[in-house]
Structure 1
Amino acid sequence: MSENKLPTEVSQVAATADPSPLGLGGFALTTFVLSVANAQLIAPAAKAAFLGLAFFYGGLAQLLAGMQEFKKNNVFGATAFSTYGAFWLSLATLVLLEALGVINWQGFAGQALGVFLLGFTIFNTYMWLASFRVNAAVCGVFTTLEITFILLVLAEFGFISSVPGGIMGIITALIAWYASAAGVINSVCGRIVLPVWPLKK
């Protein structure tokens, strides 16, 4: 009986759409909006514009993309999208709780967020190393994100301003958008229009 079910199971797996363009798109847009604020290209009061995206697009939608990657047996994609979906949800929650007065950093907000970002920098480091076995577009996302995280950690601890990290974050978002666009356009066209340059495994 299990043998009779096997073709159906295989066809169901094959029919599953690639969730990575959604995950990359959610990550890109949320990163872009926050990075524009970090780069001080908009007024500080406008920084909160990233919150809705962090909860629903970079957060929830990216988390759902990660769950779908589990179904496709993609350990890298599942881990990356699920973690960064949780990252945005966590960050948005911290910002919201602070705004509501639930959290009082007592002047140590920089240290708190610095440690928060440092933890994700450590995570991103081994994901960055693993990305060298995926493709150049994804590797580009994790490479620029690694630099972004390092710069933002330094900014939170008061060594530099947030501007360098913001600029690097914008670059990260643009590369992530390219990778997302490649996944959508190549799928719709049935051929490679935007190359992602697979790396040798």
Structure 2
Amino acid sequence: MAHISDDEKDIVSQDSYHKVYLLGDGGEYIILGNKKFYKHELMTAFGGTMQTERYKPAEPLNFGNPAALGLASFALSTFVLGLYLSGAMGISKPNVAVGLCFFYGGLVEAAAGIWELVLGNCFAGTVLVSFGMGFWISYGAINVEAFGIIAAYGDDTKQLSNALGFFLVGWGIFCFLMLLLTFKSTLIFMGLFFTLDIAFFLLAGFYFTGNAHLQKAGGIFAVIASLCGWYCAFAGTATRQNSYFTANPILLPVFGKKD
């Protein structure tokens, strides 16, 4: 890391918000606060690592990228469930997805999230653990007879539908809050949360109204969200050393003061 000169420090100190400055003939230096970094030393907003900050000093890793594992487990589980909910191939019961809910979408995704918390990535950890332990495992439990959740409602299908609707509304609100934190990241990463949020509210609407078209639309949006998740997972694992193809992030524009 290069040190900032006194003249450059004066430039930065004029703005209490510590804007991002590019220096050098080719813009190879970036100033954050009162420190100067080489551009290649910084992590940019990147869906493959679930990094939402536009610029952040890179921390050396001696192990793999847990975000890619979490994204992959989320994507596959969401893809399968989305196909079921959309009625693909005439499938109307999502119970085959229960195995994914407990193990790949549940335990594996939560484990990846816990490791992200260890690495200091609060956003990724919060999202992956919440969806892994909170959504996927609880959704699987709802569909397992041994837990007696559905049986507890007996013949009162209306109450069951309303309860499931509120369950999905809660997750839609959580997803919306996480969506707000992706507007400085990349297009595909933001698109993942945007389409997933729409899926939650459409499916909630289905349970409240019984309109099958809402379920089908919710399943389709879930499939789209899964494709975004797979793209981000590929971006987090593909390098110039192991692949002829890498994913170039499309950064979203940042408006107002850049800090």
Same fold (TM over 0.5): yes
- What letter is aligned with 1:167? I
Instruction: Label 1:73 to 1:101 Cα distance change in 2 as closer, same or farther (>3 A).
Output: closer
**Could you say which residue in structure 2 is the equivalent of 1:197?**
250
Instruction: Label 1:46 to 1:118 Cα distance change in 2 as closer, same or farther (>3 A).
Output: closer
Deviations 1:120-177 (A, max 9, x none): 1110111001011332221110011111111111111125321010111111111111
Within a 5 Å distance, the mapping from 1:133-144 to structure 2 comes to 133-144=184-195
Q: Which shows bigger deviation, 165-174 or 185-194?
A: 185-194
Instruction: Label 1:95 to 1:184 Cα distance change in 2 as closer, same or farther (>3 A).
Output: same
Instruction: Label 1:62 to 1:101 Cα distance change in 2 as closer, same or farther (>3 A).
Output: closer
Pair 1:93-2:144 in alignment: no
CA distance in 2, matches of 1:23, 1:71: 14
Ranges of 4+ aligned residues in structure 1 off by more than 3 Å: 42-46, 187-192, 198-201
**Could you say which residue in structure 1 is the equivalent of 2:225?**
172
Kindly indicate which of the two structures has a greater share of residues assigned to strand.
Answer: 2
CA distance in 2, matches of 1:60, 1:22: 11
Pair 1:152-2:203 in alignment: yes
Task: Look at both structures and tell me which one has the larger radius of gyration over its CA atoms.
Answer: 2
* Identity between Structure 1 and Structure 2 (%): 32
**Could you say which residue in structure 2 is the equivalent of 1:6?**
none
Maintained 8 Å contact 2:85/2:92: no
Pair 1:79-2:126 in alignment: yes
Instruction: Label 1:101 to 1:62 Cα distance change in 2 as closer, same or farther (>3 A).
Output: closer
**Could you say which residue in structure 1 is the equivalent of 2:77?**
30
Q: Which shows bigger deviation, 106-115 or 123-132?
A: 106-115
SS in 2 for 1:15: coil
Which one of 162, 172, 180 corresponds to residue 111 of structure 1? 162
SS in 2 for 1:14: coil
**Could you say which residue in structure 1 is the equivalent of 2:109?**
62
Pair 1:121-2:172 in alignment: yes
Instruction: Label 1:188 to 1:31 Cα distance change in 2 as closer, same or farther (>3 A).
Output: farther
Deviation at 1:102, TM superposition (A): 1.7
TM-score, length-scaled by structure 2: 0.67
CA distance in 2, matches of 1:13, 1:55: 32
Pair 1:40-2:91 in alignment: no
Instruction: Label 1:163 to 1:101 Cα distance change in 2 as closer, same or farther (>3 A).
Output: same
Name stretches of at least 5 consecutive residues in structure 1 with no aligned partner. 1-11
Give the paired residue count.
188
Which one of 172, 184, 195 corresponds to residue 237 of structure 2? 184
CA distance in 2, matches of 1:95, 1:158: 21
Maintained 8 Å contact 1:179/1:196: no
Name stretches of at least 5 consecutive residues in structure 2 with no aligned partner. 1-58
Deviations 1:14-50 (A, max 9, x none): 2132111111111111111111111011344652111
**Could you say which residue in structure 1 is the equivalent of 2:37?**
none
TM-score, length-scaled by structure 1: 0.85
After superposition, the CA RMSD in angstroms is 2.2
CA distance in 2, matches of 1:150, 1:44: 21
Which one of 102, 107, 129 corresponds to residue 148 of structure 2? 102
Which one of 160, 181, 184 corresponds to residue 130 of structure 1? 181
Maintained 8 Å contact 1:33/1:49: no
